[in-house]
Amino acid sequence: MGGPDIADLTREFCEEIRELKNSLEFASKQYEDLEDECTEVKMENAALKANQEKLPQELERVKKSAHENPQNIVAQDQSSRIKNIELKGIPHVKKEKLFSILDKVGNVIDEPISDEDIDICHRVPTRNASAEPNIMVVFNSRTKRDAVFEKSTQKTFHGGEARI
């Protein structure tokens, strides 16, 4: 008889079953890897959704803060200037004593200004180099600043005329 015998067929059959088993194990491993990857993606997706749900509230908080910041800056700016007066037109002299100039200004407007009334006093640089720099005075109290301002609005004078 010239055909394949049963032993050869059995070997071939066993070999094919082994190959099929290896293929099935490979496919099973691939499936498990995909399943693990899918689980990871689902977890990442859930975390992203949770973060995304918080974004509108965070956006509203940032919008509110951005809206309030300029108002706060303006309020702080106004508050920081509430005790300030800027004197213009007083000629600048080398080695001048600003406190004595302020004393003379106080005499001219009939509102005494003592050293104790003043927190800070200095010249403010101008953009125009040929212009006289103004004098910035920060008083210790708003009350004194208001009194000096009130008296100065009642009396108009020029620095050269009063010989300050």
Domain boundary among 80, 105, 135: 80
For residue 164, the model assigns a pLDDT of 47
Average pLDDT, the chain: 88
- Residues 76 and 93 both lie in one domain: no
- Residues 127 and 149 both lie in one domain: yes
For residue 54, the model assigns a pLDDT of 94
CATH number of the domain bearing residue 132:
3.30.70
User: How far is the C-alpha of 15 from the C-alpha of 132, rounded, in Å?
Assistant: 105
- Residues 42 and 95 both lie in one domain: no
Which sign does the torsion angle of CA 72, 73, 79, 80 carry? positive
Expressed in angstroms, the distance from the first to the final Cα of the chain is: 139
- Residues 20 and 2 both lie in one domain: yes
Total tally of structural domains belonging to the chain: 2
- Residues 58 and 88 both lie in one domain: no
Domain boundary among 80, 110, 132: 80
- Residues 60 and 91 both lie in one domain: no
For residue 69, the model assigns a pLDDT of 84
Structural domain including 127 reads 84-162
Domain boundary among 80, 112, 143: 80
- Residues 66 and 119 both lie in one domain: no
- Residues 72 and 92 both lie in one domain: no
- Residues 103 and 157 both lie in one domain: yes
- Residues 46 and 121 both lie in one domain: no
pLDDT at 1 over 70: no
68 to each of 55, 64, 77, 82, 105, how far by Cα in Å?
20, 6, 14, 21, 40
pLDDT tens digits for range 85-104: 998 888 888 899 999 999 99
User: How far is the C-alpha of 117 from the C-alpha of 3, rounded, in Å?
Assistant: 125
- Residues 68 and 118 both lie in one domain: no
